[in-house]
Amino acid sequence: MNSSPQDLVQELYIAAYGRPADPAGLQYWTNVLNQNGNNIGAIVSNFTNSTEANNLYGTISSSNLPTVLNNIYENLFNRPIDQVGLQYWENTYNQYHMSVGDLAYDIMQGAQNSDVTVINNKIATAQTITNYLASNPNISITQGEVPLLDNFLQSVSTSVPSLNDIQNFLNNMNNQNTIQSLYLAFYDRPADPAGLQYWSNVLSQNANNINAILPSFASSQESATLYGNVQPTPDLNTLINTTDNYVNTFFTMNGLNAPNPQGLNNAIISYYQDYANGNLADVNNDFNNIISQIDNIMIYAANQSGIKLTVNDLQPINA
């Protein structure tokens, strides 16, 4: 296979990890490859001897070699290994005792006939995904989403998915991860399938702006059951107690110590003062500010506990 430096790096990601390169990883390893005269041997061991490669294919040994080889063929070519290929690669392994990643990369490089088409389509798809992620830095791929990328790339066979299909896949995957984080942060449980799909769609309809749906989570009946019901009231102490209970319960559930929510307390006092002074036109805005302050505290708490609520805060995969 004649490949550009970027394609060589993508091939390594596909062979060793079964996924597209992340933008930073692609740029880094392409630069290293260029600095070494496009000698793939200068970087191949960094990929093929990795834990991620072994996790994808399993630890290789003489006893499970046929299974590992079949897994490699399924991952790269979407088909089981044929008897001729099995015998050839068994002999190659027995002679050189290669790592599973090296074996996968060599099998990819030796692709023939229709297998070449499949690999080229996977490379083209992977490059489109990498480029889209590079041009949309608000979308990051978490470790938990890597299997979804694996499955998507493995589904590529005789044709390359359209750009629209790839964009929809990435946006939906990213939105679903965000919704799962919201469910875990606010409700301490995974999203149910219907809720996951519904709120993912709502998020998409609002240009992936999480602020468009946060109030619905903060003011839901389930939140009220968990944290207490924050409702407009002319009694300052009641409002402070209910909001403090809401925040403290949320922080405790996420294993954190609640901070002194000065912004929230100021919003409560402003609400109370406007209510007491008869400034009813401002009362509704004051209460919305209270809810907004609670939202901000929830985001802070979730982020501190490792639950990322915003797209930009999602933990990216490592190159």
What residue ranges do the domains of the chain occupy? 5-159, 221-304
- Which pLDDT tens digit goes with each residue over 81-90? 999 999 999 9
Give the whole-angstrom CA distance, residue 317 versus residue 234: 49
Whether residue 15 contacts residue 122, with contact meaning beta carbons closer than 8 Å, is answered with: no
Give the whole-angstrom CA distance, residue 220 versus residue 279: 27
Looking at residue 234, what is its pLDDT?
47
CATH architecture, range 5-159: Orthogonal Bundle (1.10)
* pTM for the model: 0.64
Local confidence band at 316 (pLDDT 50, 70, 90 cut-offs): very low
Whether residue 86 contacts residue 124, with contact meaning beta carbons closer than 8 Å, is answered with: no
Local confidence band at 4 (pLDDT 50, 70, 90 cut-offs): confident
- Over residues 216-227, mean pLDDT: 75
Q: In 123-178, where do the E strands start and end?
A: none
